[in-house]
Amino acid sequence: MLPEDEQQRWNKFELKVKERLGTAPDLDNVLMFIGVYESGRPPKNFTEKERMELKQMALCTILAPARYFELMWVDDTGWPHFRNLERVPEMNPSEREEFLKPYILRYAEKNKLM
C-alpha cells in the first residue's frame, strides 16, 4: 500500500489519465498511456503487437532510473532500445502494480503529466 501522500498523487494521476483516455485506467492502460506519450505517436487503434511493444517501452522507461534497464539507442523512427541490467522481481499482479506505482509517479511528475 502506498503512503497517503503518494496515494493522493496516484489518484490525481489516475484522474488525468482517465480524462485523456475516457475510461478508468488500470495498470495496462497507464503503461499504454506512457508508451504512446514516449513514442510520440498519435493515439489510434493499435494492434496487439504494437500494444505490447508500447507497454514494454513504458516499463523500460519508468524503470530505467532504478537501473533495471538502460537506454542503449534510439533508432531512425524514434523508437528507444533498452538493455536489461537487472531482472525485475517475480510478483503477482497486485504486487506488480504496487511496485510500479512509485516509478510511474516519478515519471509522470518529471514529464509534467499530472
pLDDT per residue as tens digits for the range 46-69: 899 999 999 999 999 999 999 999
- Give the residue among 54, 56, 53 at the shortest CA–CA distance from 64: 56
Q: Which cell numbers in the block locate residue 99?
A: 511496485
Residue closest to 35 by CA, chosen among 24, 21, 22, 23: 21
The C-alpha atoms of residue 102 and residue 16 are separated, in whole angstroms, by: 16
pLDDT digits (tens, 9 = 90+) for 66-112: 999 999 999 988 889 999 999 999 999 999 999 999 999 999 999 99
Burial 73-101 (b: 16+ CB within 10 A, else e): eeeeeeebebeeeeeeeeeeeeeeeeebb
